[in-house]
Structure 1
Amino acid sequence: MSSEERLAERRERLIRSAYILYADLGFPDTTIEKLCAAARISNRAFYECFTGRDELMWVVYNRCVRDNLAAVSAAVEQAPNTLLGRIEAGVAAYIEFVTEDPRRARILHLEVRRAGDCLTSSRQEAVAGFTQIIETNLLQVPEETGVDLHLLVLGMIGAIQELLIEWVLAEDPPPVESVVKTAVYIFNRSLAI
């Protein structure tokens, strides 16, 4: 392997290890030493790949968001061409993608907050990406209501985030189907369908 290939392979091992440890131990309790042990690399090699834990968390989080945005976009594009069909497809795709791997749910909805300032702009970009999908494909709110559509979308996204935090933290998590149905109901009622 070339030096670039070795570096890329180490980076990928660190990303996989961080995905597991940030979800299992939590971001605050995952030290660089633990990451290096899990990835089977030296501390020096870590710093050849990343500037610190924050940058590594940024990469893990953004990969999860990118993959989720792609899944939601594809589901909405393939959905029946009705508002309800697009809502059901988009919401189900988001929640099912996130809950398919509980570690992903934990990183996207809990550890992102625990990571603090290092992910504030990434989190805002993620919300903007999902807001764009919703505003482009789902919204049909009568203008006479006086409702700010952007704020409405942010509220609906916040509701889904809280449902998923509950799913992550609950001792006995609600069934995913129940989370999807609840989120779809929230969207439908918010849009007065």
Structure 2
Amino acid sequence: MNGRSYRGMTAEERLAERRERLISAAYTLYAELGFPDTTIEKLCTVARISNRAFYECFDSRDELMLVVYDRCVRETLAAVAKAVDEAPATLGGRIEAGISEYVRFVTADRRRARILHLEVRRAGDCLTVSRQEAVAGFCRILETEPGLSGLRGAGRIDLRLVVLGMLGAIQELLIEWTLAAEPPPVERLIDTAVHIFRRTLAA
């Protein structure tokens, strides 16, 4: 690809701009129609590009879904890590800050909630590795929390499995929020998730 300018943009800039338009279209369509029902033709119509241009940007719908999902995960992880770093220096304070920010950040845009907690499953094998890496990223935030050190030596308790179980509870709460005809208030989701974490850690 050469770097000649067209309408004030180089070929590389035009390609990057088309990619962003496709990512934006996918963010909406994968959430509204669902991944299985979002065709390349529909993506191209919303992004206002040709089918040929699609394949200059991505190899497949799967690759595009992976890019959208990974971006959602990176943004969410950054928000949660920042909230935890700025929270009161207590186990309860840091966990509550992390949970609250995660739930608020994800639910601030229903498309993000749907992609992270529904479409990631419907997309199938193409997101298996990326989803495992995302879960591992959230686990690391909690596993490195000094206040949880007591659980590491608690007999047959595996701290990573405890964290996975607690994350699974939050995921189910967010799936309910996403699918419900009358979603529960976000603050109720946060209170419920914090209660589950506190009871688990107390036990």
Q: TM-score, normalised by structure 2?
A: 0.93
How far has the Cα of 1:139 moved from its partner? 2.2
In the TM superposition, structure 1's runs of 4+ consecutive aligned residues that sit over 4 Å from their partners are: none
Q: Deviations over 1:63-110 (max 9, x none)?
A: 000000000000000000001100110000111110000000000000
Match among 32, 43, 49 for residue 40 of structure 2: 32
1:161 alignment counterpart? 171
Q: Is 1:178 matched with 2:158?
A: no
1:101 to 93, 106, 109: 109
2:127 is aligned with 1:119: yes
Of 36, 54, 62, the residue aligned with 1:54 is: 62
In the aligned structure 2, how far is the partner of 1:79 from the partner of 1:13?
36
Larger Rg: 2
Q: CA deviation at 1:187?
A: 0.7
Q: Which runs of 5+ in 1 are unaligned?
A: none
Amino acid at match of 1:88: E
Give the match for residue 3 of structure 2: none
| 2:78 maps to which of 57, 70, 75 | 70
Distance in 2, matches of 1:156 and 1:162, equals: 10
1:150 aligns with 2:160: yes
CA distance in 1, matches of 2:150, 2:22: 45
Paired residues in the alignment total 193
Corresponding residue for residue 5 of structure 2: none
> Any idea what SS the aligned residue of 1:166 has?
helix
Q: Map 1:81-96 onto structure 2 (within 5 A).
A: 81-96=89-104
1:21 is displaced (CA, Å) by 0.2
Give the secondary structure class of the aligned counterpart of 2:123. Answer: helix
Say if 1:100 and 1:9 are closer, same or farther in 2 by CA, change over 3 A. same
SS in 1 for 2:202: coil
Question: Quick one: structure 1 residues 140 and 192, their matched pair in 2 at CA, closer, same or farther if it must change by over 3 Å?
Answer: farther
Letter in 2 for 1:108: L
Report 1 or 2 for greater relative contact order, CA contacts < 8 Å, sequence distance ≥ 6.
1
Aligned partner of 1:139: which letter? L
Structure 2: gaps (5+ residues) = 1-8
What's the RMSD between the two structures over aligned residues?
1.1
